């Protein structure tokens, strides 16, 4: 799970799934209802909504770049 404090309160942003080949992220419905920004401009909720974001894993990026940069 990915949590955020956007909006001043802790809330779950979505679910992160990592397999041997892919990193997948899906926004929670409750987070989408808030209208808050998500994982940056490229992965914004208004572009993806309930669609799962899928990225192939590589040596350089194990996770989605906005999450990888936090580690």
Count the neighbouring beta carbons within 10 Å of the beta carbon of residue 46.
9
Whole-prediction pTM: 0.86
Domain ranges of the chain: 2-58
- Examine the pLDDT at 68 and tell me if it is beyond 90: no
Give pLDDT tens digits for 31-45: 999 999 998 888 999
- The answer to whether the beta carbons of residues 54 and 61 sit under 8 Å apart is no
As a dihedral over the C-alpha atoms of residue 19, residue 63, residue 71, residue 25, rounded to 10 degrees, the angle is: -90
- Examine the pLDDT at 49 and tell me if it is beyond 80: yes
Q: Which of 12, 14, 24 is nearest to 63 (CA)?
A: 24
């Amino acid at each position: 799970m990915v949590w955020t404090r956007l909006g001043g309160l802790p809330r779950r942003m979505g679910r992160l799934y990592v397999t041997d080949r892919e990193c997948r992220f899906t926004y929670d419905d409750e987070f989408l209802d808030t209208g808050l920004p998500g994982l940056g401009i490229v992965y914004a909720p208004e572009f993806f909504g309930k669609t799962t974001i899928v990225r192939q894993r590589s040596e350089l990026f194990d996770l989605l770049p906005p999450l990888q940069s936090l580690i």
